[in-house]
Structure 1
Amino acid sequence: MKQIPLPIAPPPADRFDTVQVGANAAAVQHLRGLGLDGVAAAPVYLWGDTGSGKTRLLRAMATERQDHGERVGWFDAADPLPWTFDEAWSLVVVDRCEALDAARQQAAFALFIDAGTHGVQWLAAGRQPPVDLPLRDDLRTRLGWGHVFALQPLGEAETRSALRREADRRGIFLSDDVMDYLLTRFTRNLGHLMNLLDRLDEFALSEHRSVTVPLLKKMLAEDSGEGAR
């Protein structure tokens, strides 16, 4: 029987000072400047493929507002209805816009109108540019009305840096061999790699072993090789 490890390091909140910027400096700079004068700016839409960091930037923006005592409305395409607007919010976030069904498109459109009426900042993200989103015309047009940023995935050096920093936070020694194994056998999707690191941390604790390539291979074998190329 294996020991069930207790969490030692809680997951960190995504913040701008911990986000790997890479080629997305313009988007990050724009987001960090939103609301500095206390006035909602034009809507912002972020798009990019899986692993480009869209959700992390949305969370960083939400965390910054909450750190200043503000309230944020957060909606994902999978969240249950109804989606109700709150005038106390300073920011409304809608993630995974490409997956909005008809009912949630209606709800998102209503949120957009309410946010504009009450001067609340709007921030959304999806895998496609607004013009290509499979959405109703009025919502698609509004998502593309303000500032639109195409996000690029991190390069190898930036991915390594992000993994190394998270490993250090957890107190894990991540050797170059382990890092190379991860980056050569899995897609360079930072979210997926972070999930692998999380599972590897737990597996190492349960096995009472250091993180090594053989341990990683054992975990993947027990996990049916999920996600390996």
Structure 2
Amino acid sequence: MDTFTSQLPLPVTLPTDETFESIIDKGNQEVVTLLKDVATGMPQWRDEPRLVSLASLHLPLVTLQGGSGVGKSHLLYALCHQLATQQVNHIYINLNQHAQWSLDIFDGLENLSLICLDNIHAVAGITAWEEALFDLFNRVIENPGALVVGSSQLGPSHPKFVLPDLRSRLAWGVIYHLNTLDDDSRKDVLRLRASQRGLKLSEQALQFLLYHSDRDLRSLLGLLERLDTRSLQEQKKLSVAMVKRELGLP
């Protein structure tokens, strides 16, 4: 996967191929349109007529909710890529990696235009992190220029969140439930990503790949990345036989 080091307050590497242009938004058009409007309206997003509903929230928080592999992180990456090109102050934090950081990672973030918090559910049940997140949300409320866009596999009322005040704050925002892509949409995503890599993915190879591997999108894209590497190493075109070799199938 090609990567670049984004110009964010926290050093982080985001996948370059996960942009708005590479999103297949079937079933999720509303939230994709919203996030594009957010990007267009930055940094003065409160003045954007299409974002009046966000501006009216007591806590300006958009949460993308859904299971693994439905595209939550892709949308956050795409938003950050767009803001990087516009030189808008923002940050992306993957809370799956919270064990690597101290709680002061949230200090001062309310002064940014956009705060992207991926995998909020990862800190559910960890009191110190829940309190730090609650404090950040309170500071965002006091700073009307900041907007938070997060993702979570859990809803705000889920019992894994132990701090009642945090559950309350999470519910103050707007929640978008992402729909799982159907098989035709998964195929469209794989064709698009293969094309971006310069790979020609035949219908036979596509069918085999889809029905002989994990079906969540993140796993499928990881497999496509490995096939790209194998194709370069073997100097061969992507084929059903190559997919079988990568999957260890006879």
Q: Quote the Cα distance in structure 1 between the aligned partners of 2:171 and 2:203.
A: 42
Is structure 2 residue 118 aligned with structure 1 residue 112? no
3-state DSSP class of the match of 1:173? Answer: coil
Unpaired runs of at least 5, structure 2: 4-14, 47-53
Counterpart residue identity of residue 242, structure 2: L
Q: Which stretch of structure 1 is more off in the superposition, 17-26 or 39-48?
A: 39-48
Q: Quote the Cα distance in structure 2 between the aligned partners of 1:201 and 1:207.
A: 10
Identity, in percent, stands at 27
Q: Quote the Cα distance in structure 2 between the aligned partners of 1:138 and 1:199.
A: 43
Normalising by structure 1, we get a TM-score of: 0.85
3-state DSSP class of the match of 2:115? Answer: strand
**2:127 match:** 102
Q: Quote the Cα distance in structure 1 between the aligned partners of 2:178 and 2:29.
A: 9
Deviations 1:180-208 (A, max 9, x none): 01111223311111110001111121122
Unpaired runs of at least 5, structure 1: 1-6
Q: Quote the Cα distance in structure 1 between the aligned partners of 2:246 and 2:236.
A: 12
Alignment RMSD (CA, Å): 2.0
3-state DSSP class of the match of 2:134? Answer: helix
Counterpart residue identity of residue 19, structure 2: R
Which of 60, 82, 86 is the matching residue for 1:68?
86
Is structure 2 residue 51 aligned with structure 1 residue 28? no
Structure showing greater relative contact order (alpha-carbon pairs closer than 8 Å, 6 or more residues apart): 1
Q: 1:130–1:141: 8 Å Cα contact kept in structure 2?
A: yes
Q: Which stretch of structure 1 is more off in the superposition, 37-46 or 150-159?
A: 37-46
Normalising by structure 2, we get a TM-score of: 0.79
**2:172 match:** 145
Counterpart residue identity of residue 21, structure 1: D
Residue 34 of structure 1, CA deviation:
2.7
Count of paired positions: 215
Please identify runs of 4+ aligned residues in structure 1 that moved more than 3 A.
none
Q: 2:22–2:192: 8 Å Cα contact kept in structure 1?
A: no
**1:4 match:** none
Which of 153, 167, 184 is the matching residue for 1:127?
153
Is structure 2 residue 42 aligned with structure 1 residue 38? no
